[in-house]
């Protein structure tokens, strides 16, 4: 099997981002977005998915976190889809329900080539360590767009905003681990392509 590794960069007047991912890694990461809580969430995603993530972002945080969070998701999604190649033999689908103390979150994913995101969560705190909680949904919507994936995420239970968001990222991690895993030799589509 060829290494499933890809890099992607994006430079605009608002952000300068480079990411390298290895779908068959060990969950090692080096992440610097300038948004402390987003770094924590992406580190957790890497560790629990087993996907190595090297990511550096320099963004206009003096404005706010919007551009950095959105563009990080766009770059990460593009690197993942590039690493997947023709998607031959991947599981394609993944799902997980993850508890974190009082919080419970679920994620279902289809790497079938169509982007769509359904997100259901309400947070009590407006900001956690530089991450506007309204940007959590926007991160997942942007990720689904460049990853060409259906993402359905929901917080089923929870009061603590930190726990709820972390459970969402961990549920994505375990769903991704399942979806990108090579479990056959065929493309899982009646069209013959995904």
181-192 as b/e: b if 16+ CB within 10 A = beeeeebbeeee
Q: Is residue 22 part of a domain?
A: yes
Q: What is the CATH number of the domain that holds 161?
A: 3.30.230.40
Assigned domain for 190 exists: no
> How many domains does the structure of the chain reveal?
1
The vertex-56 CA angle with 81 and 167, nearest 5°, equals: 65
Does 120 reside within a domain? yes
Q: Give the model's confidence band at 30: pLDDT under 50 very low, under 70 low, under 90 confident, else very high.
A: very high
The tens digit of pLDDT for each residue in 84-112 reads: 999 999 999 999 999 999 999 999 999 99
Q: Residues 123, 186: contact at Cβ < 8 Å? A: no
Is residue 169 situated within a structural domain?
yes
Whether residue 56 lies inside any domain: the answer is yes
Residue 186 placed within a domain: no
Task: Give how far the C-alpha of residue 20 lies from the chain's centroid of Cα atoms, to the nearest Å.
Answer: 13
Report the side by side order of strands in the sheet with 116-120: 93-100, 103-110, 150-157, 116-120
Domain range for 27 is 5-180
Residue 10 counted as domain residue: yes
Q: Looking at the predicted structure, is the pLDDT value of residue 163 above 80?
A: yes
- DSSP character at residue 192: S
Question: Is residue 188, in this structure, part of any structural domain at all?
Answer: no
């Amino acid at each position: 099997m060829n290494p499933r590794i890809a890099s992607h960069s994006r430079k605009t007047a608002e952000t300068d981002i480079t990411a390298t991912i290895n779908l068959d890694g060990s969950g090692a990461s080096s992440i610097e977005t300038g948004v402390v809580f987003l770094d924590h969430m992406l580190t957790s995603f890497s560790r629990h998915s087993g996907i190595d993530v090297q990511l550096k972002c320099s963004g206009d945080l003096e404005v706010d976190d919007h551009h950095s969070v959105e563009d990080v998701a766009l770059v990460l999604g593009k690197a993942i889809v590039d690493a997947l190649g023709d998607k031959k033999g991947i599981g394609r689908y993944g799902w997980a329900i993850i508890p974190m103390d009082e919080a419970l979150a679920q994620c279902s994913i289809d790497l079938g080539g169509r982007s769509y995101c359904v997100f259901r969560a309400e947070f009590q705190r407006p900001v956690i360590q530089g991450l506007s909680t309204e940007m959590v949904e926007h991160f997942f919507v942007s990720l689904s767009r460049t990853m060409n994936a259906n993402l359905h995420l929901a917080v089923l239970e929870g009061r603590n905003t930190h726990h709820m968001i972390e459970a969402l990222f961990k549920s994505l991690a375990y769903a991704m681990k399942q979806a990108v895993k090579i479990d056959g030799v065929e493309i899982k589509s009646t069209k013959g392509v995904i």
